[in-house]
Amino acid sequence: MPTDQLNRPLKDLRISVTDRCNFRCPYCMPAELYGERYQFLPKSQIMTFEETTRLTGIFVGLGVTKLRLTGGEPLVRTDVATLVGMLSISKGVEDIAMTTNGYLLPQHAQALKDAGLHRVTVSLDSLDDGIYKTLNGRGFGVDKVLEGIQSAADAGLTPIKINSVVMKGVNDHSVAELARWCKDKGYIARFIEYMDVGNLNDWQSDQVVSATEILDRIDAEMPLEAVEPNYLGEVAKRWRYKDGSGEVGVIASVSNPFCGDCTRARLSTDGNLFTCLFGSVGKDLLGPMRDGATDEEMANIINGFWLLRTDRYSELRASMQQPLTVDGKPKVEMFKIGG
């Protein structure tokens, strides 16, 4: 198992199966910039299922045990359940999850479960229909997503986690409401501090609602107590309700960065390896593979790239309280490597 310059092992792989999305959330893919004329990756530049499966097997051989399928929106990729089935037979994989906006889950949940997907995380920034329509940039109502979450529960894609990006003056007033809904439904709410992912969301630090504020709002209505992490490198800090009725998580990459425990690698839709959500330039893996590199040669490329890893973007940003560039270069956009 390779470890990087900060002694962080490689344990988790996030795979972006498409750079396309049916939503246009302003903090990721704003509609004014990603309209009908925007050119997404052509099919020839996108990893095939066979290429994705082969690369994943090489990562597993280097110590990866957890896979997460992301996008864009992974459910807009045709026959994505087929890919899940191909990945699920890889020896050494302990967990396969998917992050989705949930809108297409009603059509896909059972097929995903049958193919071998273990669980889903659904992005849901608000239960308020008006706010939700604004935040998804398409005017889609929240009811279809709630239906998708229920279909995932019915299919057994559990535990279901609900991700909510909290933005001051936008949806922060409804944090406790969403937490209570998740608590009543048996879902795990995870609130995410608004981050400067990519280069397009005009992030300012005063838009951030800190994890402490989020927890205080929930605790005032439903008392909480801290819980130990499930494993080294867990992204969310965990809290449980004192009445024993579930838990909530907060991802505090702005106010309390967790770079020191990061074990995640990200594989973009076009086969580039990134070692940070805020990275700029990835390592091309698809090119060498298509040029005939052996599995051993591919493993050496991945291993060498991880061994040189030094990134700790969130810790550096926290000390400066402003967005940074990475080595003077623009950061990769989130929809290209997943959240």
Note the pLDDT tens digit of each residue in 75-89.
999 999 999 999 999
pLDDT digit string, tens, across residues 52-63: 999 999 999 999
> In this predicted structure, what is the pLDDT of residue 43?
95
pLDDT digit string, tens, across residues 185-202: 999 999 998 876 655 556
> In this predicted structure, what is the pLDDT of residue 271?
97
Cis peptide leading into residue 223 (ω within 30°): no
Which among 285, 263, 259 has a CA at the least distance from the CA of 273? 285
> In this predicted structure, what is the pLDDT of residue 25?
85
H or E segment to which residue 238 belongs: strand 237-241
> In this predicted structure, what is the pLDDT of residue 326?
54
pLDDT digit string, tens, across residues 134-171: 999 999 999 999 999 999 999 999 999 999 999 999 99
Map out the domains of the chain as residue ranges.
Answer: 12-337
How many angstroms separate the CA atoms of 99 and 326, rounded?
26
Q: How far apart are the first and last CA of the chain?
A: 24
Which among 209, 121, 112 has a CA at the least distance from the CA of 163? 121
Residue 308 contacts by C-beta under 8 Å, 6 or more apart in sequence? 4, 5
Which among 135, 142, 17, 21 has a CA at the least distance from the CA of 73? 21
**Whole-model pTM above 0.85?**
yes
Contact 151, 110 (CB under 8 A): yes
304 or 254: whose pLDDT is higher? 304
> In this predicted structure, what is the pLDDT of residue 154?
98
How many angstroms separate the CA atoms of 298 and 150, rounded?
40
What's the whole-number mean pLDDT along residues 119-137? 95
Q: 327 falls in which pLDDT band (50, 70, 90)?
A: low
> In this predicted structure, what is the pLDDT of residue 198?
54
pLDDT digit string, tens, across residues 248-284: 999 988 777 778 889 999 999 999 999 988 777 899 9
Class (C level, CATH) for 12-337: alpha beta
Burial of 172 from C-beta contacts in 10 A (0-12 / 13-18 / 19+):
middle
> In this predicted structure, what is the pLDDT of residue 254?
78
> In this predicted structure, what is the pLDDT of residue 38?
82
Q: 31 falls in which pLDDT band (50, 70, 90)?
A: confident
* pLDDT of 205 over the 80 cut: no
> In this predicted structure, what is the pLDDT of residue 197?
62
Q: 311 falls in which pLDDT band (50, 70, 90)?
A: confident
> In this predicted structure, what is the pLDDT of residue 129?
96
- The pLDDT > 90 percentage for the chain reads 73
What's the whole-number mean pLDDT along residues 17-46? 87
- Checking DSSP bridges between strand 247-251 and strand 188-193, what pairing results, if any? parallel
Q: 33 falls in which pLDDT band (50, 70, 90)?
A: confident
Q: What is the mean pLDDT of the chain?
A: 90
> In this predicted structure, what is the pLDDT of residue 180?
98
> In this predicted structure, what is the pLDDT of residue 321?
58
> In this predicted structure, what is the pLDDT of residue 89?
93
> In this predicted structure, what is the pLDDT of residue 42?
95
